[in-house]
Every structure is written in C-alpha cells, then in structure tokens.
Structure 1
C-alpha cells in the first residue's frame, strides 16, 4: 500500500518549523500500520531534521553552529544572486538533509520520546515551502 501527499508550510525566516503533527496526520490517513514515512522538501535553501522537541534551546544552538559553518555574506562566495544569505542557505541545506525516513509501527511514526520532525528554513526572509510525504507499507 502506498500514499502520497504534498504539504505547504510558511516560514517566518531562518529557524525551524515543527511539522511532526502534520506528518503524523498523513500517516494516520494512509491506513498503513507497518512501513515507512519518507519526507522530502522540494527546495535547495531549507532542509529537514529530526531533533529534540522538548527544549527549543537545542534548535537555537544548532542555528548558532550553522552561523559559524556557513556565514552569510562570506566574501569567498561567488553565488549571491538573491542576497548575502543565498549561498549560506545552500551550504546549510547540503550539510543537513533534504529528506528523512521514519519507520511506522502500529499506524504511528516511531519517533523517540524527545524527537520531532522540523522544517529548517535557512533563508532570512519568510518563504512558502513544499514537503512531499510518501507512505509505504501495509
């Protein structure tokens, strides 16, 4: 059995959006009891991550690390078509993930107690992002 949905999410600029509940709803709607949920973001300047959902400081600290690894406006960047955060956003996306796969058991995402699925916006301005969720299983 398979099921596929595309979700739209609005971001308010750089940072994370918790999309766990939206993905869980698609799993429930699919009727799959045992299988996989594959989540894919259709953009090159944002990403997906599974990280702690209990303390927002974790996500703030991850952003701090990314600022060090891929600073905005680095003079070494040649690609800056959309501004000083353009290439930094692409680097951040490459360093993280454009897709995730989460097991499904008993009709639910098998995330750990403190895990959440996040869309991570790497641009400084707000964007509308598309996420494709594909459910496979029985």
Structure 2
C-alpha cells in the first residue's frame, strides 16, 4: 500500500522550520501502520535535516557553521543570478540532503526522543517550499 501527499511550507527566509507534525499527520492519514515514510524536498536551495528538536541552539549553531563554510557574496562564485545568497544556498543544499526516509511503526514516524524533521531554508528571502511525502507499507 502507498500513500502520497504534498506539503507546502512557507518560510520567512534563512533558518530552520520544524515539519515533524505535518509529516506525522500525513503518515496518520495514510492508514499505514508499518513501513517507511520518504520525505523529499523539491528544491535546490533548501534542504531537509533530521536534528535535535529540544534545544534550538543546535540549529543556530548549524547556521553559524554553514555561514562560515560558505559565505554569501563570495567573489569566487559566478552563479549569482538571484543575488549574493544564490550559489551559497545551492552549495548548502548539496552538502546536506533533499530526502529523508524514516521507519513507520504503529502508524507513526519512529523517531528518537530528541529527533525532529526540519526544512532548512538557505535563501535569505521568504520562499514557499514543496515537500513530497510518500508512505509505503502495510495497514
């Protein structure tokens, strides 16, 4: 059995946005009790992360690291059609991930105690992001 949904997430610009509840609601609507849930982000300048959800300073530190790793407006980048954060956003998304698969057990995502699913927006401007959620398994 397979169930697919599309989520739309509005961001306010660069930062992390927890999507755990939205994904778990999709899993619940699927009627699937045991299987896998794949979450796929349909963009090249944002990413998905499985991260600690209890302390927001973890995600703040990730952003600090990413800002050091790839700087906005770096003059070595040629691709800047959409501004100084254009190529850095692509690099950030390539070094993270666009897809996460988690097990489904008892009709819920089987996440660890402190784990959450997040959309990590790499652009500085607000964007509307599309996420495909596909749940596969048995009822």
Same fold (TM over 0.5): yes
Shift of 1:100: 0.3
Q: CA RMSD in A?
A: 0.4
Partner of 2:88: 88
Cα distance in 2 between the residues matched to 1:70 and 1:36: 33
Q: TM-score, normalised by structure 2?
A: 0.98
Q: Name the SS for the 1:28 alignment partner.
A: helix
Partner of 1:25: 25
Partner of 1:49: 49
Counterparts of residues 44-123 of structure 1 (less than 5 Å): 44-123=44-123
Partner of 2:130: 130
Cα distance in 1 between the residues matched to 2:34 and 2:129: 28
Q: TM-score, normalised by structure 1?
A: 0.99
Residue ranges of structure 2 left out of the alignment (5+ in a row): none
Shift of 1:70: 1.1
Cα distance in 2 between the residues matched to 1:121 and 1:58: 15
Residue ranges of structure 1 left out of the alignment (5+ in a row): none
Residue deviations 1:26-79, cap 9 Å, x none?
001101111000000110000000000000000000000100111101111010
Cα distance in 2 between the residues matched to 1:69 and 1:102: 28
Cα distance in 1 between the residues matched to 2:70 and 2:4: 33
Aligned residues: 138
